[in-house]
Structure 1
Amino acid sequence: MDTKDGGKMHVVMLPWLAFGHVLPFTEFAKRVARQGHRVTFLSTPRNTRRLIDIPPGLAGLIRVVDVQLPRVEHLPEHAEATIDLPSDDLRPYLRRAYDAAFQRELSLLLQEAKPDWVLVDYASYWAPAAAARHGVPCAFLSLFGAAALSFFGTPEALLGLGRHAKTEPAHFTVVPEYVPFPTTVAFRGYEARGMFKPRMVPLQRIALGLQASGLPFIWAFRAPTDAVSGGLPEGFEERVAGRGVVCRGWVPQVRFLAHASVGGFLTHAGWNSITEGLAQGVRLVLLPLVFEQGLNARNLVDKKISMEVARDEQDGSFAADDIAAALRRVMVEGEGEQFGAKVKELVKVFGDDEVNDTCVRDFLRHLSEHSKKNQG
């Protein structure tokens, strides 16, 4: 690798301010550093304290830069991640603070250090132009799976331009014409409409479904700010005492999934959660809610890897019994054995560190070759 540092690169990473983004970016930074490359990781002080744990052996290769967010009207004090917001309505104010602080910090860093690459999350829309002004290449490190990204289309389409642009709900409910193989994987009507007008999650129905399933569970629960009695049905925790535990707020999901007593995972079907579940060989029950989650769910169901909670095709509603039925079918009834066998096979891919490190090496080699080509 013909880079400035004897063949090793210096990479800057900018994750969005959400736990589900900071954590995978951190894990990726560690894998990059284990290959001998330097990483500058932009974070905030509170997120660094809560989430970022750099092993002593990598401390000389990973530098975490804490970026102080500015005061923004309506943004709660000490809010440095989406989990700190009492309402999703406040996300625009967190974005405003992020844009102001991280854009400034990146510009300073590019002037002082001139790294080899900048790797950005979806939120740093201003980063490519900033990097280009300093002659530094920039790449989008997506937390969506490749299948979902291919559905959304080219950068031109994402900007709402060209023949494949998706500018209204109906455009998301059909398989794009450029997909070269037969598939039925697409958004349902209620999911497509939800992209333009998100819906509240019926947490009480999920609670009653867990209760009706009769299965032991641990639930990472975050109540909405306007919830009555904590957002759970009255007496719920007393009724499930002894077999169900409700953990309010964030939990170390990977550690929980790795525990020998955990055999199944009811998840919203975000790609991070899917890969974490498959890496541990746990059976998946899918309840997609927003973003690309519906595509992920259809894809896994189509491949007979998991089961999706039954929903009303018109409005996306579901009953407690639908939750209970899906959980029992996957966990205790006969057909659950095929799901168990399938996820055990996939551990060899998602849970194999050697496979993951090979993918990282291939990715880094691609970055290096791109740099050499443009330098030449």
Structure 2
Amino acid sequence: MANDEKKLHIAMFPWLAFGHMIPYLELAKLIASKGHLISFISTPRNIDRLPKIPPTLASLINFVKLPLPHVQNLPDNAEATSDVPLNLVPFLKRSYDALQDSVTRFLEDSHPDWLLHDFCPYWLPPIARKLGIPSAFFSIVSAAALCFLGTKAYFGERKSPEDFTVPPRWVPFPTTVAFRLFEVFKIFGQGITGVEDDVSDVYRFVDVLQGCDIVAVRGCVEFEPEWLRLLEDLNGKPVLPVGQLPTTAFDSEDDTDTWRWMKAWLDLQSKGSVVYVAFGSEALPSQTELTEIALGLEQSKLPFFWVLRTRKGPADTELIELPEGFEERTKERGVVCTSWAPQLKILAHESVGGFLTHSGWSSVVESLQFERPLILLTFYADQGINAKVLDEKKIGYLIPRKEQDGSFTRDSVAESLRLVTVEEEGKAYRDKAKEMKGLFGDRDSQDRYVNSFLGYLKTHLQSQKVE
């Protein structure tokens, strides 16, 4: 009984991307709501930009601000991937790696019961082991994406971009899940082979998978049972799904003011008619892509609400612009919002009938918890794998693109939007989105996953003491 009542101290160290920090914070809130203590480690500016937590959890979530060491070529105040264009992300990784000493000191001083870390700090599992702290790699990417990467035993086996466009030989069941060629081209250097002295993302992943004690995955058995089993078989260690972590919002007064005018516009639209367009904090279309998306939206004749980012931080010199006259021509049926928007509230509104998204998993979860069908346009990283998983299960529709360069047309955008949102042929996608609500938005199911995860963490600690 005493074991069940033990309150844990869990340290969390996510990668410096909001697509990673937010799911870590969601899990932190769920764990803290059970009375456990969280030390959430990140940089000062990132912590200040995180969503506010409920006052009831304030005493249980301790935000640990570690100043980000300066490295050459990284702009001042750049502390997250959303602050820099893609070509500067390697410098952000170098800066993150330079946090090694300060993270180690924190762990030595506080000695948490468990450490949950991301894919990036490949140097951290050996440090945790030396300090006697069990570590879990908490992956915000799916089990399918982790399986696709493989393990250290397979590292370097795939040498050409084309090798990544077919399912890996270690996947024993039939699947179509693989990258498309243009998606591999975008990540082949930084992500797969590494550039100059930089450690590649794939190496970080497989090294962390090998070094950690257990793997915690954002996901659920009901959605990807075969991938979760394979991940455990490949790595020879426990793989624990923690649920899909649907986002929970804590409103501030500023958010309410912003939402007021947006809701007023959405209220005027017919039920299920609006296309919501947003590509997260990381993905940014090129000027050519932006033009085709805009003209495709216009051509679709559907009402739309577009949250548009035109640059990634002050260091981004490639400002993208809407086609001339677009806003004027579509002002009667569309909104282009270039500031922050409450995505959860927009998706929850009954006028929204489809979501044009980059396939980032947080956006997928938010969409499906409100039964919104997905139109998929990938840009980077694991988005290509996510999109193929959704496509294979007929949960999302991939906008047709050229395999070699990923180009697409305004016609294909317009046709895809209409198909998924309003046309009879796309009803299967709308029905499937409704069916998914139970997996992606059920709070009781989410609670069971967190309880099961915490039960494992406690049992592991107890067994260590017995030994």
Contact 2:303/2:333 (<8 A) preserved:
yes
1:185 matched residue in structure 2: 177
- Structure number with the bigger relative contact order (C-alpha 8 A, sep ≥ 6) is 2
Provide the C-alpha distance between the structure 1 equivalents of 2:77 and 2:317, rounded to a whole number of angstroms: 21
Provide the C-alpha distance between the structure 1 equivalents of 2:328 and 2:412, rounded to a whole number of angstroms: 22
Contact 1:14/1:42 (<8 A) preserved:
yes
Provide the C-alpha distance between the structure 2 equivalents of 1:247 and 1:83, rounded to a whole number of angstroms: 17
> Residue 118 of structure 1 aligns to a residue in which SS?
strand
Distance 1:155 1:57, change over 3 A: farther
The question of 1:212 aligning with 2:299 is answered yes
The question of 1:19 aligning with 2:18 is answered yes
Letter in 1 for 2:88: L
Letter in 2 for 1:139: A
2:83 matched residue in structure 1: 84
- 1:302-313 aligned at under 5 Å gives the runs 302-313=392-403
Deviation string 1:208-240 (CA, Å, 9 cap, x unpaired) is 111211112122222244446x42212222222
Provide the C-alpha distance between the structure 2 equivalents of 1:197 and 1:178, rounded to a whole number of angstroms: 23
2:166 to 156, 171, 174: 174
1:49 matched residue in structure 2: 48
- 1:128-277 aligned at under 5 Å gives the runs 128-157=125-154, 160=155, 165-196=157-188, 201=286, 202-224=289-311, 225-227=316-318, 230-277=320-367
Percent sequence identity is 48
Provide the C-alpha distance between the structure 1 equivalents of 2:140 and 2:341, rounded to a whole number of angstroms: 20
Provide the C-alpha distance between the structure 1 equivalents of 2:54 and 2:135, rounded to a whole number of angstroms: 27
Provide the C-alpha distance between the structure 1 equivalents of 2:302 and 2:54, rounded to a whole number of angstroms: 37
Letter in 1 for 2:332: G
> Residue 290 of structure 1 aligns to a residue in which SS?
coil
1:98 matched residue in structure 2: 96
> Residue 265 of structure 1 aligns to a residue in which SS?
strand
The question of 1:374 aligning with 2:456 is answered no
Quote how far apart the aligned CAs of 1:12 are: 0.5
Distance 1:249 1:125, change over 3 A: farther
Contact 1:265/1:277 (<8 A) preserved:
yes
Provide the C-alpha distance between the structure 2 equivalents of 1:49 and 1:191, rounded to a whole number of angstroms: 33
Provide the C-alpha distance between the structure 1 equivalents of 2:306 and 2:411, rounded to a whole number of angstroms: 18
Quote how far apart the aligned CAs of 1:319 are: 0.7
> Residue 16 of structure 2 aligns to a residue in which SS?
coil
> Residue 233 of structure 1 aligns to a residue in which SS?
coil
Letter in 2 for 1:38: L
1:125 matched residue in structure 2: 122
Q: TM-score, normalised by structure 1?
A: 0.90
> Residue 341 of structure 2 aligns to a residue in which SS?
coil
Quote how far apart the aligned CAs of 1:243 are: 2.0
> Residue 276 of structure 1 aligns to a residue in which SS?
helix
Q: How many residues align?
A: 367
Contact 2:74/2:88 (<8 A) preserved:
yes
Deviation string 1:102-158 (CA, Å, 9 cap, x unpaired) is x2332112111111111111222222122112011111111111122122222443x
Distance 1:302 1:362, change over 3 A: same
Quote how far apart the aligned CAs of 1:333 are: 0.6
2:198 matched residue in structure 1: none
RMSD: 2.2
Distance 1:108 1:197, change over 3 A: closer
Provide the C-alpha distance between the structure 1 equivalents of 2:463 and 2:150, rounded to a whole number of angstroms: 27
Provide the C-alpha distance between the structure 2 equivalents of 1:370 and 1:97, rounded to a whole number of angstroms: 33
Between stretches 141-150 and 201-210, larger displacement belongs to 201-210
Q: TM-score, normalised by structure 2?
A: 0.74
Provide the C-alpha distance between the structure 1 equivalents of 2:340 and 2:97, rounded to a whole number of angstroms: 25
Quote how far apart the aligned CAs of 1:200 are: 6.5
Provide the C-alpha distance between the structure 2 equivalents of 1:89 and 1:10, rounded to a whole number of angstroms: 37
Letter in 1 for 2:120: A
Structure 2, unaligned stretches of length 5 or more?
191-283
Distance 1:208 1:355, change over 3 A: same
1:356 matched residue in structure 2: 446
> Residue 424 of structure 2 aligns to a residue in which SS?
coil
Distance 1:176 1:92, change over 3 A: closer
Between stretches 139-148 and 51-60, larger displacement belongs to 51-60
Structure 1, unaligned stretches of length 5 or more?
none
Provide the C-alpha distance between the structure 2 equivalents of 1:194 and 1:93, rounded to a whole number of angstroms: 18
Provide the C-alpha distance between the structure 1 equivalents of 2:137 and 2:306, rounded to a whole number of angstroms: 32
Letter in 1 for 2:94: R
Contact 2:183/2:384 (<8 A) preserved:
yes
Provide the C-alpha distance between the structure 1 equivalents of 2:69 and 2:318, rounded to a whole number of angstroms: 30
Provide the C-alpha distance between the structure 2 equivalents of 1:200 and 1:260, rounded to a whole number of angstroms: 28
Letter in 1 for 2:334: G
Between stretches 8-17 and 251-260, larger displacement belongs to 251-260
Contact 1:39/1:62 (<8 A) preserved:
yes
Contact 1:2/1:372 (<8 A) preserved:
no
Provide the C-alpha distance between the structure 1 equivalents of 2:74 and 2:362, rounded to a whole number of angstroms: 27
Provide the C-alpha distance between the structure 1 equivalents of 2:13 and 2:342, rounded to a whole number of angstroms: 22
Quote how far apart the aligned CAs of 1:2 are: 7.1
Provide the C-alpha distance between the structure 1 equivalents of 2:426 and 2:92, rounded to a whole number of angstroms: 42
